[in-house]
Amino acid sequence: MSPSLSVCFVWHFHQPQYQDLSTHQAVLPWARLHCARNYTMMLHLLEEQPAAHATINVTPVLAAQLDAYANNMCTDEWLELSVKPVAELDMEQRARLIALFFDVNRERIIEQDSRYRQLSLRRSEPIKIWSEQELRDLQCLFTRAWTCSSDLRERPEGPALLGKVRDFTEEDHAALIHAQHDLVQDFLPRLAGLCRSGQVEVATSPYAHPILPLLIDTDTAAVVQDTPLPRPAFRHPEDALQQLQFGKQYIEQLLGLPISGCWPSEGSVSPQAVAEIARAGFSWTATDENILLRELPGEPRSALYRPYRVQTTAGDITMIFRDRALSDAIGFQYASMTTGDVVSEFMRHVRAVRNNLDHPGMLSIIMDGENAWEFYPEGGVPFLRALYAALANEPDIKLTTVSEALKGVPASDMPAFHPGSWIDGNFRVWIGEDEDNKSWQYLRNARDDWGHFTPEEQKRSLLSMFAAEGSDWNWWYGRERTAETSVHFDDLYRRHLTNVYTQAGHPVPDQALEPVLDDEPLTIAVEPIGLMNPRIDGGPAMYLDWASGRCFRPDSGGGTMNSGTPAVTSLRIGYSLVAMYLLVQLTPEMAAVEDLRVEVRISSQAGPSRFVVQRDNGAVTAWTEPPGDPVWALGKTLQIQLPFTTIRAQRGEHVTFTVLVSGGGRLVATIPARGVMSMTLPDMDYELQHWEA
């Protein structure tokens, strides 16, 4: 008779910090939408089959966002477009609705829904020919696609909403929105209830999902990969411990439960990182099989199916190791197979593990709890339901939590091991390429500055510092990136860096405004059509004064730096033979903020310069660096005259510039959102070239 085998699913629930922590506006909606569909589906199936025990690793940064949504303290553009009746959407909002609401799996959702497919074929048509009914149908189809169908079916109106093909009403729209909000609001209490029943164990990760070995010392990567590394190195082991302790305490307080297990971000471990995990109070941790098996050459694979005891400077801790083949098969291979074939294939592997054991064992399946299900028929529900049932009915197989398994499976002593992650046993995804290393340089500079802030300033900006240390930004740098997604994540990473400064009350350094991405810098030409000499009085833009200049309108959708309500409606740019002129049209709300600050950063051949105007305790002051002779006035508009001598530029020279607007303790806009504006100053022959007889 074969010894018993504990099968331990560890479902990793994680989304990066999508919230701008100075505004509580989420730049992307995926924490909310994955919760309403995938995370809720995972809980529903466990509730449906009480014999199926599992471990759910919830990252603190995800839980914090879900808690904010549940308490109406967070919103996002998708949500704002979802909740409004179509009749209340202006033309710009309708255009955004069409641009954003096809972001679902095309093969599994759009192509299998005749109405969704029909609407998708019309995406490029003019907005004005879309009817309100078509737009409402799009709202409802998107919301329904991102709502757990199993839970929706149990609501009184659910079957009718699931069966509806088109011609949704505003009542249908409201019902779908309420259902989706209820699922997000109920998620954390529901998870805590499953944990109290003993069916689920909740584990967690360091707060903002940093790569612990690299946070401790980026030179750790040199042990397992031959790539260039950032210089100087980033070394902050105290941050690794703080992220672990803070994350553990946060989840324990939020759910009212003790936490004993830790999935280190991306399964990334090193001897030092495991010691910090133990020091933070965890009793078990986990990583990929490669970390173990490369230290046991010649050992049978059955060595994988037991826990290991690690002696650290902070005491002993138990490690478990994911079965890579089975975990990756669920994540990347099984979606294209029929449910029956998939379950048979999976069970064949599990039986083989059980039959080759000479001791009680544990098989650890560790993977994401959201991304795979988008590619499965019906969102993975038939597959997981059948898999749980098959495992529950198999002799000498038990579906258990990790802590349940550790009680019955003796641990062996862990050999000395090398650092690594679940991806190829190294850290190449996060460090070693030019963009990755540049990102670490940005982080090191911000962390060095943060270290010199006062304790109160550090406290105000701590969560933004944590967020910037997260692993998710570097996932999209280097060869891994795709163009559109990498731009979003580069913007978001630098938003967290800027918040480190603005939340502490410090000016934002130039570097945080420069993309990490190594694409050609974006330069927006704003060449005036002629000379001007406008009055500088802070009044509205007089047509004759500014007619020869250029008007630049910031794009409200232009990246995370300009997320939320626009602070600047237009920017007018011009020049005379001796000065450049700017008129910043602030919104009335922005013009009235008590701590308004507008900064113009200019670069010429002689180097950088800047003009700053700010309001403090009711007094408005301005200055330039280096010192110069600007003329300015702040009223209904901010009008600025900057002599060429002040910006250290010569006639005929090419200059670039950016405008930053702050208020309410945060950076609210960079203009342009990406790149810089450029202008060629009138050269010495300008008057001759533009003379007309």
Calpha distance 142→520 (Å, rounded): 35
Q: Any idea what DSSP says for residue 638? A: E
Which whole number is the average pLDDT over 167-175? 97
Of 513, 532, 566, which marks where a domain is finished? 513
pLDDT digits (tens, 9 = 90+) for 377-434: 999 999 999 999 999 999 999 999 999 999 999 999 999 999 999 999 999 999 999 9
At 559 the pLDDT is: 41
Measure the CA–CA gap between 566 and 672, rounded to whole angstroms.
12
In a shared domain, residues 253 and 314 = yes
Q: Is residue 61 part of a domain?
A: no
Segment 53-92, tens digit of pLDDT: 999 999 999 999 999 999 999 999 999 999 999 999 999 8
Q: In terms of domains, do 207 and 225 share one?
A: yes
pLDDT attached to residue 483: 62
**Per-residue confidence band for 97, with pLDDT thresholds at 50, 70 and 90:** very high
Q: What pLDDT is recorded for position 519?
A: 67
More confident residue, 277 or 491: 277
Residue 633 placed within a domain: yes
pLDDT at 433: 93
For residue 561, name the pLDDT band (cuts at 50, 70, 90). Answer: very low
Considering the domain architecture, whether residues 441 and 294 belong to the same structural domain is answered as no
Same domain, 205 and 279: yes
**Which of the residue ranges 14-18, 153-157, 306-310, 669-673 would you say has the lowest mean pLDDT?**
669-673
The DSSP letter of residue 511 is: G
Structure tokens at 595: 């701590």
Q: Are residues 318 and 397 in the same domain?
A: yes
Query: Nearest Cα to 681, choosing from 605, 599, 600?
Result: 605
Report the pLDDT value the prediction gives residue 293, as an integer from 0 to 100. 96
Residue 553: how many CA atoms within 13 Å on its side-chain side?
3
For position 228, what pLDDT does the model report?
95
Mean pLDDT, residues 652-670 taken together: 88
CA distances, 468 to each of 16, 400, 447, 492, 632 (Å): 10, 35, 9, 9, 36
At 521, the pLDDT band (50, 70, 90 cuts) reads low
Of the candidates 55, 50, 4, which has an alpha carbon nearest to the alpha carbon of residue 402?
55
Examine the domain organization and report whether 325 and 215 are in the same domain: yes
Residue 557 has pLDDT above 70, yes or no: no
| pLDDT per position as a tens digit, 259-295 | 999 999 999 999 999 999 999 999 999 999 999 999 9
Going by C-alpha positions, the residue among 290, 242, 246 that lies closest to residue 268 is 290
Burial label for 557, CB within 10 Å (0-12, 13-18, 19+), is middle
Q: Does 556 have pLDDT greater than 50?
A: no
- Model confidence over 616-637: pLDDT tens digits? 888 999 989 999 999 999 998 9
- The pLDDT score that the predictor gives to residue 687 is 67
pLDDT at 29 over 60: yes
In this structure, is residue 40 part of a structural domain? Answer: no
Q: Say what percent of the chain tops pLDDT 90.
A: 81
**Arithmetic mean of pLDDT, 164-188:** 97
pLDDT at 361: 96
229 is a domain residue: yes
Residues 443 and 395 in one domain: no
Tokens 């303290």 -> residue: 73
Answer yes or no: do 544 and 678 share one domain: yes
pLDDT of residue 282: 98
Domain that holds residue 440: 434-513
pLDDT at 684: 81
In a domain, 131, yes or no: no
Average pLDDT over residues 195-212: 98
Whether 346 and 463 map to the same domain: the answer is no
For residue 531, the number of C-alpha atoms closer than 13 Å in the C-beta half-sphere is: 12
Among 352, 383, 413, residue at a domain's last position: 413
User: Percentage of the chain with pLDDT > 70?
Assistant: 96
- Mean pLDDT of all residues belonging to the chain: 93
Write the CATH number for 307.
3.20.110.20
> Over 90: is that where the pLDDT of 44 sits?
yes
Same domain, 607 and 653: yes
In a domain, 425, yes or no: no
Preceding amide of 419 cis, omega within 30: no
pLDDT digits (tens, 9 = 90+) for 114-168: 999 999 999 989 999 999 999 999 999 999 999 999 999 999 999 999 999 999 9
50 part of a folded domain: no
- What is each CA distance from 583 to 535, 574, 682, in whole angstroms? 11, 9, 19
Domain total in the chain: 3
Tokens of 625: 């660096």
Show the tokens assigned to 221: 């990567």
Per the structure block, which two tokens stand in for 627?
């010192």
Cα(242)–Cα(229) distance, rounded to whole angstroms?
24
User: Average pLDDT in the 659-679 region?
Assistant: 86
Same domain, 274 and 400: yes
Q: Is residue 396 part of a domain?
A: yes
For CA atoms 392, 397, 398, 400, the dihedral sign is negative
User: Using 50, 70 and 90 to split pLDDT, how confident is the model at 450?
Assistant: very high
Tens of pLDDT, residue by residue over 348-380, are 999 999 999 988 999 999 999 998 999 999 999
Give the pLDDT of residue 347.
96
CATH number where 566 lies: 2.60.40.1190
User: Do 474 and 610 have their domain in common?
Assistant: no
pLDDT in tens, 206-236: 999 999 999 999 999 999 999 999 999 999 9
Q: Which of 483, 513, 543 is the last residue of a domain?
A: 513
| Reported confidence tier of residue 473, pLDDT bands at 50, 70, 90 | very high
pLDDT at residue 691, rounded to an integer: 61
Tell whether the model's pLDDT for residue 2 goes beyond 70. Answer: no
